[in-house]
Amino acid sequence: MSEPGKLAYKIKIGVLAMQGDFDAHCKTVEDAGGYPFLVRTPQEIVSADGLILPGGESTTIGKLLVRYGLDKALKEAHSSGTPVYGTCAGMILLAKRIESGAERGGQTTLGLMDITVARNAFGRQVDSFESDILVPEIDEKEPFRAVFIRAPIITEAGPSVNILGCVQDKIVVARQGNLLVSAFHPELTNDGRMHRYFLNEIVRPSLTER
């Protein structure tokens, strides 16, 4: 909320819209005080202060990124300092390494974050679940009601990766510099805390550095 008479700069968040729950992300970004817009072309990526890779099917989104030349544009945006937040499929896309369980169907990744990810780590859809998880970096007291859908986990994290949250002793929230990932979907529970953290603690500080 901006003070009366003072216009606050609204952070522009590009939400990748190949496929997936990008609308839910846009709504959550708006609630968190940002200005969301959909990204489908390399040109649209350039104008974003921060980027979100939504939930969806990682195989599909990965293939479309390559087909439309967005993979290069996303890597360039990251190397020029644009923060990126990935949920679920988005987390898989940001990972450097995919667990060898991915023998079926090639998974394209952008290879930006020093983590190894196992896909569908809890099983198929009937094993999708929700659970409370605490992410002290974001909120020390109030846990997130985390919705996991055919969710991945992080099985290995490099030394520069900050582990922010776990469920059943498995890493599901992490940050490395201006990359943030969560295996669950805060955008599906009208919980704006993760997005506010991304906007205020990662994207906003990065604006002055760029």
Partner 1 sequence: MEQTIENTRLTNGYSNSNGNSNGEKTDSMTPEKATWRNKVGLAEMLKGGVIMDVVNAEQARIAEEAGATAVMALERVPADIRKDGGVARMSDPAMIREIMDTVTIPVMAKCRIGHIAEARILEAIRDSKGDRGVDFIDESEVLTPADEQYHLYKHDYKVPFVCGCRDLGEALRRIGEGAAMIRTKGEAGTGNVVEAVRHMRTVMGGVRRIRTMDEAELMTEAKNLGAPYDLVRYVWQNGKLPVPNFSAGGVATPADAALMMMLGAEAVFVGSGIFKSGDPAERAKRMVDAVTFWNDPEKLVEVSTNLGEPMVGIDIRQLDEKDLLATRGW
Q: Which residues bind partner 1 (CB under 8 A)?
A: 17-24, 40, 55-57, 59-60, 63-64, 67, 88-89, 102, 104-105, 107, 119-120, 123-133, 143, 145, 147-150, 167-168, 185, 188-190
Note if 166 is an active site residue: no
What whole-number distance in Å separates Cα of residue 164 and Cα of residue 189?
Answer: 19
- Least distance to partner 1, CB of residue 66, Å: 10
What whole-number distance in Å separates Cα of residue 128 and Cα of residue 142?
Answer: 23
- Least distance to partner 1, CB of residue 13, Å: 18
Query: Is 72 or 160 the residue whose CB approaches partner 1 more closely?
Result: 72
- Least distance to partner 1, CB of residue 180, Å: 19
Note if 185 is an active site residue: yes
Query: Is 13 or 203 the residue whose CB approaches partner 1 more closely?
Result: 13
Query: Is 66 or 207 the residue whose CB approaches partner 1 more closely?
Result: 66
Residue type, 71: D
For residue 57, report the phi and psi dihedrals to the nearest 5 degrees.
-100, 115
What whole-number distance in Å separates Cα of residue 200 and Cα of residue 197?
Answer: 5
SS3 153: strand
What whole-number distance in Å separates Cα of residue 157 and Cα of residue 56?
Answer: 23
